[in-house]
Amino acid sequence: MLGLGDKHTNSLTMDQPVPSSLLDTGAQNIISKPLPRYEGAKKVSGTARYSAEFTAENMAYGVLVGVGHGSGTVTGVDADAIRGLPGVIDVVTDFKSFLRNAGQGGETKAPTQGVEEVAYFGQFVAIVLGETYEAARGAALQLPLTVEPAEGRFDFDALKGETDTPPPNNIPAHYTQGDLDRAMAEAPLTFDATYTTPSQNSAAMEPHASLAYWDEGKLTIYGSYQIPTKDAIALAKALGVSQKNVRIVAEYVGGGFGSKLGISPESAAAAIASRQLGRPIKCVMLRQQVFDGTVRRSNTEQRVRLAAEADGTLVGIGHETLCANLPDEDFFEPAGIGTHSLYKGEHRVITHDLVRVNLTLSGSMRAPGEAVGMLAIESAMDEFAEQLGIDPIELRRRNDPDKDPEKGVPFSSRQLTRCLEVGAERFGWSKRQPKATRRDGEWWVGLGVAAATRNNLLEKNAAKARLNAAGHLFVETAMTDIGTGSYTVLAQIAGEVMGLPFERITVKLGDSESPESSGSGGSWGACGSGSAVYLACEEIRNQLAKKLGVDPDAMTLKDGMAIAENRSTPIGDLAGEGIEATGEINPGKQKDAVTQASYGAHFAEVAVNAVTGEVRVRRMLGVFAAGRILNRQTARSQCLGGLTFGIGAALTEELIHDVRNGKAVNHDLAEYHVPVNADVPQLEIEFLEERDVHSNPLHAKGIGELGISGAGAAIANAVYNACGVRVRDFPLTLDKILPHLPADLPSA
Amino acid sequence: MKTFTYTKAQSPEAAVAEAGEGVRFIAGGTNLLDLMKLQVMTPDKLVDISRLDLGRIEQREDGGLTIGALVPNSDLAADRRVIDGYPVLSRALLAGASGQLRNKASTGGNLLQRTRCYYFYDTATACNKREPGSGCAAIGGFNRIHAILGASDKCIATHPSDMAVAMRALDATVVTLKGDGDRRRISIHDFYRLPGDTPEIENVLEPGELITHVELPGPPQGEQLYRKVRDRASYAFALVSVAGVVKVEDGKIASAALAFGGLAHLPWRDFEMEAMLVGQAPSTALFEAAADKLLAGARGHGSNDFKIPLARRTLIACLRDLTGV
């Protein structure tokens, strides 16, 4: 996007609120509208190219080889055994440089390297290269590896007595306020229960894939990644090359859900093999390899303690989590993150400790923390309401704090109770019956509710915008669109600020050489990259006003025309040789001055079969408040996906590891049960009107992960209301419900 | 997958003539190709039978149906004669897999589905079915989907088909063509084998023997149902399934055929249990006694222990549905 003309910069650090937004005063009237996807036609016509669909001249195919032991030392790779096979080019191993595991989200350091020592079952130790994918795959499955096995740590339950406290990640591992033990001893009402959640895998539809090639010492990777800016830096470090010599292109990504935040092992293997062979190498993971060797969400064991006054007002809240990771990896599943600011209670203990295991890396999966933490805390609130004999919505209302219960600062915006009330009305909550009283044939039917919260994050982001003489706007940032609608909402933001219709805006994403972006992840993508685009466009707008000689506030931009002082001028005419601006947003003091989070309420109606214990969700409603909604359709789709994830978390998803050797047992989509269409009933989504002036100039907050946070708990609570069986061990598969069902079967 | 040769057969006779050591027939390929990609099965040669003239469903003079081995599961499920006369079969078919798979999967191939045992699918682990003598990783491992009846210390795998369960309740006959040109008619009750010491041998087909048809006797009298209990509402294999055909006459059970999926290495049927029911007035007490009989020899392996009470409850509920108790 090089060009002549003026170049400007507009930088904003969020040190104070931004009281007004051009998105409210814009005349184009496209922001928030449910516009169809900017790239939709390309996707439905198959012309949107994903990483594995790129090819290069003289390209060869690489297939990774995972080790069939959970612990030990690789002592041999018998390349000669497969070198003679038809179409096989070579076997490449680099025990020192291969990535032992995927990178953590948002990191710019190289992931752990070195694959001679086996840290987990399936760890990749070689890449087989072939002239065809089939030749490489066939040979990869036949490559003999010799391993000196060693004792491994595979059984979480057996090892959970040995823990250590990890360093902080986005929250401290341990937080204590007041004296919870005393509160538990003295309060008139207390609750103490432990919940467990299993290992999970993001199971994105598109497997991890990289096409790598070198050109005069510079590496280009067409890779399926969420954060090209940081991923390129991490990959450069892993390969020992200069950062300017690594470029990652991720124009379209077929879902990531955290598993593509950091680089995964196929990228470095393809790059190393390409450098060695002198040919482009494409490496696409097999589905089983995605489960074995990318990243998982850790299983958790969460103890929740609640202490309350007689009216249910909390005086103490405890949320203590055990989770797992590799012996030398410090990421912990921050299950207590939502608990920090969700409810009242002056006595607080929120802790996380790690059990060290030889299992695939634990890292961020959609809504790390809240997704599984709220299964526990929101089940506990439901149980506590039952114990108190009050409505679970009323219990939450009584405990909705008016300021952050730990930091003492105000909330930037918070409509938790309003979401619960609006949802209750719309869902028909008043028709909820006592537990195990509503029947439909041989099905028990019940309703459940849970709160939703997801903390709002802002990361540094930059974007470039350029208006040309034809009045066309080009927008560019290293943001990605992982199926979320980034292209669409960025075009809407630019269009609203610049007064341009969609067709006069071109958005380029997914290139690490574009202005830096925090990418997609943590629900920060739209707000971060969107703010940068906003600021770039604001600057161009200011320049247009200057050229017209008017105050920017006295100018209206609409349909490509600048209207001021009763004159209407095509903005392309004002652009001359082009106006280019870089927008840059930085987190600032607002981060600590207010507590920022999105909120919502989940409602679920489920049926539990009185014969078999099968659970089927009948309908769900999610009511959310997340600041300005940038596109009601893509936001709704995100929430639908979140609720669907919630169904999986509540009822079906569980990655099983064999405790004898750490092998992922059910590592395919036939046996790792994500919800299928038949499991997903009518889902309704409603957004409450909201502006958050503290968050960013868009007045928006993150929404991508809000939909999953709490969704599964609403289902579990509905199961309890339906049949009176409380299962604290997720997912709620029928075998856990069955033993508690009445022995007498319903009559035909 | 490993390299293999491929030929298209022009006739059933030509297909069996091509058969031999390391040769596999392929029709829909919905199971075989997956297993080949994982190198769980590594045939040297595939004989493609998908173009043979075995794709018709014909009504016989005796009132029964002759189903060509290549009739897709979707077509069989949607056939008017099947819907009207054998609803248990139609429902079983529609309970299986997904629409796309049912379009591709054939009747003969469905009978020959391999187990979904996690360890069978993974060449990094021991499996007597995949590699005789290597051991059974499912015993002592994660065995949620495994057998509670008829298993051995060599193998606790289950047969995954829904269709075959209904076929067993319907007393189907498997018609084959052998390499020497002989035809065989094998009762479905004799078709499958328990794992014993040779779990790699799953049925009585001889090497190179081709299923050409499946015959159903005339539509049975009485009520029919297929009930499948599973972890998600679609695209999941049965934890327990029941195919039932029961006739009640003058307040007594006149006939009963009950076959079970998800319990054993083969679609399970217990004729002694059925005999207990016949001639009796339907009652919950009777059904409980039948369930006791069915599950008298049941044994869990840890993660599948729940299948015993689940099978019991499901059977009783099915019998109550079938008899209106």
The pLDDT of residue A746 is: 80
Q: Cα separations (Å) of A382 from A417, A526, A712, A713, B292?
A: 15, 33, 13, 9, 39
The pLDDT of residue B233 is: 95
Q: Which residues of B touch A138 (CB under 8 A)?
A: 1-3, 39
Helix (H) or strand (E) holding A60: strand A60-66
DSSP A554: G
Q: B118 CB near a chain A CB, below 8 Å?
A: yes
What are B80-99's pLDDT values in tens digits?
A: 999 999 999 999 999 999 99
pTM for the complete prediction? 0.98
d(Cα A334, Cα A171) in Å, to the nearest integer? 7
- ipTM above 0.90? yes
Q: B241 CB near a chain A CB, below 8 Å?
A: no
The pLDDT of residue A170 is: 86
Q: Does B79 fall in a domain? A: no
Backbone angles phi, psi at A64, to 5 degrees: -75, 155
Domain A407-457+593-651+679-740: which topology?
A: Aldehyde Oxidoreductase; domain 4 (3.30.365)
Helix (H) or strand (E) holding B255: strand B252-261
Q: B4 CB near a chain A CB, below 8 Å?
A: no
Q: Of the candidates B293, B153, B143, B315, which has an alpha carbon nearest to the alpha carbon of residue B227?
A: B315
The pLDDT of residue A6 is: 80
Q: pLDDT truncated to tens, each residue of chain B (325 aa)?
A: 788 999 999 999 999 999 988 999 999 999 999 999 999 999 999 999 999 999 999 999 999 999 999 999 999 999 999 999 999 999 999 999 999 999 999 999 999 999 999 999 999 999 999 999 999 999 999 999 999 999 999 999 999 999 999 999 999 999 999 989 999 999 999 999 999 999 999 999 999 999 999 999 999 999 999 999 999 999 999 999 999 999 999 999 999 999 999 999 999 999 999 999 999 999 999 999 999 999 999 999 999 999 999 999 999 999 999 999 9
Q: Which residues of B touch A613 (CB under 8 A)?
A: 310
Which amino acid, residue A138?
G
The pLDDT of residue A4 is: 59
Q: Do B317 and A745 touch (CB under 8 A)?
A: yes
Write down the H helix ranges in A428-552.
486-498, 525-548
d(Cα A590, Cα A595) in Å, to the nearest integer? 8
Percent of residues in chain A assigned helix, strand, coil, to nearest 5: 30, 30, 45
Identity of the residue in B125, B232, B324 whose CB atom sits nearest the CB atom of A663: B125
Probe site for chain B from A606, A608, A660, A665 (most B CB atoms < 10 A): A665
d(Cα A530, Cα A20) in Å, to the nearest integer? 16
What are B260-273's pLDDT values in tens digits?
A: 999 999 999 999 99
> SS3 for A354-369, per residue?
EEECCCCCECCCCCCC
Provide the 3-class DSSP secondary structure of residue A81.
helix
The pLDDT of residue A3 is: 52
Identity of the residue in B116, B124, B142 whose CB atom sits nearest the CB atom of A670: B116
d(Cα A164, Cα A169) in Å, to the nearest integer? 15
| B50 C-beta neighbours (distance < 10 Å), count | 17
CATH 3.30.365.10 location in chain A:
8-17+459-587, 51-151+203-296, 407-457+593-651+679-740
Provide the 3-class DSSP secondary structure of residue A136.
helix
Q: Do B317 and A652 touch (CB under 8 A)?
A: no
Q: B133 CB near a chain A CB, below 8 Å?
A: no
Identity of the residue in B124, B233, B240 whose CB atom sits nearest the CB atom of A679: B233
Scored b (16 or more CB within 10 A) or e, B274-299 reads bebbeebebeeebbeebbebbbeebe
Residue of chain B whose alpha carbon sits nearest to that of A140: B1
Residue A111, preceding bond cis, omega within 30 degrees?
no
The pLDDT of residue A1 is: 44
Contacts of A155 (CB under 8 A, 6+ apart): A659
Write down the H helix ranges in A240-327.
265-277, 287-293
Q: Do A652 and B38 touch (CB under 8 A)?
A: no
A735-744 CB contacts, 8 Å cutoff, 24+ apart:
A735/A613, A735/B144, A735/B306, A735/B310, A736/A613, A737/A608, A737/A613, A737/A615, A738/A612, A738/A613, A738/B306, A738/B309, A738/B310, A738/B313, A739/B306, A739/B309, A741/A610, A741/A613, A742/A610
What are A486-545's pLDDT values in tens digits?
A: 999 999 999 999 999 999 999 999 999 999 999 999 999 999 999 999 999 999 999 999
Q: If you search the block for the tokens 């509905």, which residue do you land on?
A: A718
Q: Does B37 fall in a domain? A: yes
Q: Cα separations (Å) of A570 from A30, A214, A465, A500?
A: 19, 45, 18, 11
**B77 to chain A, closest Cα gap in Å:** 19
Q: Does B228 fall in a domain? A: yes
Query: Which residues is B68 bridged to in the sheet?
Result: B213
Are the beta carbons of A178 and A348 closer than 8 angstroms?
Answer: yes
Q: B233 CB near a chain A CB, below 8 Å?
A: yes
CA B17 remoteness from chain centre: 27
Q: Which residues of A touch B39 (CB under 8 A)?
A: 138, 141-142
CA-based end-to-end distance of chain B? 53
Q: Do B2 and A138 touch (CB under 8 A)?
A: yes
d(Cα A52, Cα A210) in Å, to the nearest integer? 7
**B282 to chain A, closest Cα gap in Å:** 13
Token pair in block for residue A472: 């066309």
d(Cα A643, Cα A684) in Å, to the nearest integer? 10
Are the beta carbons of B291 and B148 closer than 8 angstroms?
Answer: no
Q: Cα separations (Å) of B317 from A66, A308, A601, B166, B248?
A: 46, 44, 37, 18, 16
Q: Do B39 and A677 touch (CB under 8 A)?
A: no
Identity of the residue in B37, B119, B320 whose CB atom sits nearest the CB atom of A747: B320
| A16 C-beta neighbours (distance < 10 Å), count | 12
Q: Which residues of A are catalytic?
A: 705
Q: If you search the block for the tokens 């090819």, which residue do you land on?
A: A55
Sequential DSSP letters for B101-138? HHHH-BHHHHHTPPP--TTTT-TTS-BTTTSTTS-BSS
Q: Could you tell me which CATH number the domain at A51-151+203-296 has?
A: 3.30.365.10
Percent of residues in chain B assigned helix, strand, coil, to nearest 5: 30, 20, 50
- Is A8-17+459-587 CATH 3.40.390.10? no
Q: Cα separations (Å) of B321 from A593, A679, B324?
A: 64, 25, 5
Q: Cα separations (Å) of A481 from A225, A226, A271, A520, A706?
A: 10, 8, 24, 7, 18
CATH code where residue B261 lies: 3.30.390.50
Q: Do A138 and B3 touch (CB under 8 A)?
A: yes
Q: Considering its fold, how many domains does chain B have in total?
A: 2
Residue of chain B whose alpha carbon sits nearest to that of A82: B2
Q: Which residues of B touch A735 (CB under 8 A)?
A: 144, 306, 310
Q: B125 CB near a chain A CB, below 8 Å?
A: yes
Length of chain B: 325
d(Cα B301, Cα B139) in Å, to the nearest integer? 7
Q: Which residues of B touch A665 (CB under 8 A)?
A: 118-119, 141-142
Q: Give every residue of chain A whose pLDDT is below 50, as ranges.
A: 1-2
| B246 C-beta neighbours (distance < 10 Å), count | 26
Probe site for chain B from A658, A669, A672, A723 (most B CB atoms < 10 A): A658
| A745 C-beta neighbours (distance < 10 Å), count | 20
The pLDDT of residue A2 is: 47
Chain A with chain B: Cβ pairs closer than 8 A: 105
Domain of B17 in residue numbering reads as 5-46
**B96 to chain A, closest Cα gap in Å:** 12
Which amino acid, residue A606?
V
Q: Does B16 fall in a domain? A: yes
Identity of the residue in B122, B124, B234 whose CB atom sits nearest the CB atom of A677: B234
> Where does A412-532 show beta strands of DSSP type E?
439-440, 443-455, 461-467, 473-476, 505-508
Q: B232 CB near a chain A CB, below 8 Å?
A: yes
CA A162 remoteness from chain centre: 30
Residue of chain B whose alpha carbon sits nearest to that of A87: B3
Query: Which residues is A619 bridged to in the sheet?
Result: A605, A682
Q: Which residues of B touch A745 (CB under 8 A)?
A: 284, 313, 316-317, 320
d(Cα A450, Cα A334) in Å, to the nearest integer? 19
**A639 to chain B, closest Cα gap in Å:** 21
